[in-house]
Chain A
Amino acid sequence: MRETLRYVASRLATTFLIVLGAMILLFALSALVPGDPATALLGPAATPEYVQRFIQEMGLDQPWYRRLFSFMGNVFVGNLGTDVLSGQPVTRIIANVLPYTFILTFSSIGLAVAFGVPLGCYAATHRGSLLDHLLAFVSVAFIAIPSFVIAIFLLLIFAIWLDWLPVMGAGEAGNWFDQAQRLILPTIALSVGWIGFIARLVRSSMLETMGENFIRLSRAYGLSNRLITYKYALKNACIPTLAVLGMGVGRLLGGAVLVEIVFSRPGLGRLMFDAISTRNFPVLQGTVLVVVLIFVLTNLLVDLSYAAIDPRIRRQGSR
């Protein structure tokens, strides 16, 4: 128990350091961007007086260390600055889209796990079967096809030809059924590649585990195939899969932008994309920071679940 607590504490400390590092890096990037941020934001038509006032308001005339500290101080109290275009606090803008991103990301990963893991187990235990070959072919295809292409096909088939599902937008606020319906196609579009990926990964780590001596021992004692596959081997095969899931969450958080555009859903990716194209630096900075934070927290969670699965990791953490 003490080992576990110490491990959790050390991982939390690392997480905090990573977030701190990300903040400094983000700040440095904003300082290193060529050109004067004020002119870039306000455009060439702005009068010199207006630019001057803007610089003072944003604190751009302060020395860099002071700006860094006020930036970090603000972040710690949850203030990510003000959107220069709408005048709204960035925190609120992000808070508005975050639920959509969360739901889409975790439903996609959830779907990918729900299908990828059993498929991978089946393929590993029925090596050379028709489904195994089919899976190898189809998963490579799905990994290779970009998710927005799948999104467009899904849109064509299910929304336009068959007219089964409403698609555009995230749905009416408060109407759970409508929102869930509109979540189906984007979730499928994002998860098919991951289903293939996870199935391949589970298959190969499962096959590797199946060759281990301790699995041979279980067989020598006549344990049932089900017990060997789903209890003994799957737990071992879980570990590399979890690592990939941690990465997957990070990718989907900011990387779902194209699917969000196809289905015109709000989301972090979309927000980031718009912020880049309008040079809206405070929004961009805030969004990236939130993505970093969620990504780091997800990976903390992955690390902690490793420790829950593998007792050898708990021990390493305490050293």
Chain B
Amino acid sequence: MNPDLPMITIRNLKLDARTEHGPAHILRGIDLEFGRGRIVGVVGESGSGKSTLVSCLLRLLPSNIERLEGEILFDGIDLLKLSPSDMNDWRGRKIAMVFQDPMTALNPLFTINTHLRDVLKRRFPQISAREARERSLAMLTKVGISDASVRLDAYPHQLSGGMRQRIVIAMALLVEPDLLLADEPTTALDATVEAQIVDLFDQLRQDFSGSIVFISHHLGLVAELCDDLCVMYGGTIVETGPVAEVLARPRHPYTRALLDCEIEDDHGGRLATIPGEVPSATWAMDACIFASRCAHVADICRRGPTVLETVAIGHKAACKRSREVLP
């Protein structure tokens, strides 16, 4: 393992799903890399492919996948080339996941202890039931659950949504993964609980040595928590770079528009919207993916697809007119 190499390198990841109207290009060639100990925020509208990207990292994909190409290098090993059983070995050991909806993420017929113990036993086969319980208790306390010993013997329906999400996060941390995937972990929660969970992630990064991929459609939240930002649109990455840099100087009109949607403007306090619709997933992409909605679209944008280009150190954007319109 070379510490200078990025932990995760995704190269030209393409994924097509089978539909009635022909193949849908869910991921249209994703290039992304990040190092150890980073929190990478992935933002984009629904359908931009951010959840699918995470599913690819776990290789837990629906059955209607027609084509999956490219490379996902994890410490130099291509996850897409692993046999199914080798891949399964990575899950719950090197990679852990927090799902979007905590209300359905836990099996209603089993206690919290059973959930955590089985996951721990899979990760550390030598562990005794007693030690598993002790570690679970310590972890529940750490993720901010009071009365941990009572909660450990509770069933999911006896706990609130926020508490269930803390338990799912505790589960993820118990397996001590190198990579933690969080797929919109706060979207299904109340605003106040959402803030608590974000705070929790912020605290946890102190002693968590792995990297986190944090999916959200909320730019402000990502700004608060993440080191790197990756903006997805229509199955492509349109802009990526260090959070502070990207948010201070967005170089793609879509990122700019997203920012405008988050910030109230001076006239009457109404939120801005982006007119138009995301192009269909079956579209062959013979132009810039954002051309149909871009305020700065020109002829050059319609001549072939746009690729990510470095605009500053570690900062890339996929816009041919970036220098003209967003200097």
Contact = CB atoms under 8 A, between A and B. Distances in A.
B60 A315 contact: no
B89 interface: yes
A171 B49 CA distance: 69
Report the interface size class on chain B.
20 to 34
A224 B118 CA distance: 10
Interface string A212-251: 1111111111111001000110011000000000000000
A315 B106 CA distance: 18
A311 B156 CA distance: 10
Contact of B109 (A224, A227, A235): A235
Contacts of B168: 217
B155 interface: yes
B99 interface: yes
A310 interface: yes
Nearest to A215: B107
Contact of B122 (A213, A217, A221): A221
A221 B96 contact: yes
A213 B104 contact: yes
Contact of A216 (B60, B90, B93): B60
Contact of B106 (A217, A222, A309): A217
A220 B171 CA distance: 11
A311 B109 contact: yes
A214 B107 contact: yes
A216 B122 CA distance: 16
B124 interface: no
Contacts of A309: 109
A221 B91 CA distance: 5
A319 interface: no
Interface in B86-101: 88-93, 95-97, 99, 101
A220 B110 contact: no
A12 to B, nearest CB: 24
Contacts of B304: none
A223 B118 CA distance: 8
A311 B159 CA distance: 13
A64 to B, nearest CB: 50
B119 A214 contact: no
B285 to A, nearest CB: 30
B60 A222 contact: no
A224 B85 CA distance: 10
Interface in B144-185: 155, 157-158, 168, 171, 175
B58 interface: yes
A213 B99 contact: yes
A217 to B, nearest CB: 5
